[in-house]
Amino acid sequence: MAASWGTIIFMLVIPCVCSTVFYRDQQTWFEGVFLSSMCPLNVSASTLYGIMFDAGSTGTRIHVYTFVQKMPGQLPILEGEIFDSVKPGLSAFVDQPKQAAETVQGLLEVAKGSIPRSHWKRTPVVLKATAGLRLLPEKKAQALLFEVEEIFKKSPFLVPDDSVSILDGSYEGILAWVTVNFLTGQLHGHGQETMGTLDLGGASTQITFLPHLEKTLEHTPQGYLTSFEMFNSTFNLYTHSYLGFGLKAARLATLGALETQGIEGHTFRSACLPRWLEAEWIFGGMKYQYGGNQDGVMGFEPCYAEVLRVVQGRLHQPEEIKRKSFYAFSYYYDRAADTHMIDYEKGGVLKVKDFERKAREDFIKITTTKMFGFNVLLYLSRICELSLFLSLLQLTKKVNNIETGWALGATFHLLQSLGISH
């Protein structure tokens, strides 16, 4: 299995949050623009701010971006970012929408403390919800969004039309692609090779890249190719969002929980877990009982087979991606860091087979070591998720990771659409 993956490389780079700064070795156009994660000391009319909420399935995150407009008519320079987050996500409050909005209110206080009062009225605030709310019934999702919008209207910030909405999965992938290629300098100038992006959230996963081969254009399913305009350029991208293939949702599907939701007293069992395990897990506001196969098999191979049944035949795999470079972020990065495959602060470089090796090692530890307590549940969940990666990574074959996501690209698009920045 590993041999078929070849020598595909993953670059997993630490999230750019707070004072963390990402630089490349060579001199680039953006070198020196990340001056601080805080607001500039000398705030002027040329300083712009944007507040973007990322309402994911497992948590809500706020990004407060600071930009400086050096020259009229030119793209503003990103100067810094304030980042904070809360858990769980909005979807966990599916029947308590006012309580969900309170979590957003707390994060708005972060924005108020990060932006000078003189700029509040011209700083737009927007919340985009992703797959966690896409999976909810429409009425329940809209009830959550309504309460959040009410909170925004009471805030001192600029609230655009449609300030609270569900982000289409394809745009989630596109905007993450814009973010990564902006930060790495690939969108500055012409003729540079862009990087593909992979985003793995709790409920969905996205792949986006700029195709060059005619074969890709001719054999790609309808709806996977789209044109996107930004920075005075048009990009013809391959992008797709797989709803239900995020880390948490796919784990549920592997356990069989998606097909039998709502059955009280039912325990979902998996070969990915030790026979003695009996545990409880809450996701998306629902509680699930799960455990190991008490009289059946367990281990890497049967676990991998379970995961494969969920994803096999449901993923489009363009041949071109074997020769492209990708950045991957979100849970790709988190699980590699949690299992000490990379350094959490510095990131690292991995091959696909490194995920397989780590998963096999951890399965051996489970079968030879008697472990109890809450820590073992975290440990076992990571192993299950690493096995899931082995199937999901077949979607791309190679990944390069930087934790940027779609929020920065969405903020650029927001500022331009409002005429705040040109």
Strands (E), 44-169: 47-55, 60-68, 77-86, 125-129, 164-166
Maximum Cα interatomic distance, the chain, rounded to a whole number of Å: 70
Residue 50 assigned to a binding site: no
Choose among 84, 34, 46, 93: nearest CA to 64.
84
Q: What are phi and psi of 159, to 5 degrees?
A: -110, 100
159-184 burial, b at 16+ Cβ within 10 Å, e below that, comes to beeebbbbbebbbbbbbbbbbbbbbb
Residue 45 assigned to a binding site: no
Task: Give the side-chain half-sphere CA count within 13 A for 217.
Answer: 9
The alpha carbon of residue 354 and the mean position of all alpha carbons in its chain are separated, in whole angstroms, by 21
Contact (CB, 8 A) for 421 and 76: yes
Residue 202 assigned to a binding site: yes
Residue 206 assigned to a binding site: yes
Residue 410 assigned to a binding site: no
Contact (CB, 8 A) for 83 and 18: yes
Contact (CB, 8 A) for 87 and 107: no
Cis before residue 88, ω within 30 degrees of 0? yes
Active-site residues, by number, are 172
DSSP state of 223: T
- Report the alpha-carbon distance of residue 391 to residue 288 in Å, rounded: 23
- Report the alpha-carbon distance of residue 239 to residue 226 in Å, rounded: 7
Choose among 169, 136, 318: nearest CA to 241.
169
**Where is the binding site for ATP, in residues?**
202-206
Binding residues: 202-206
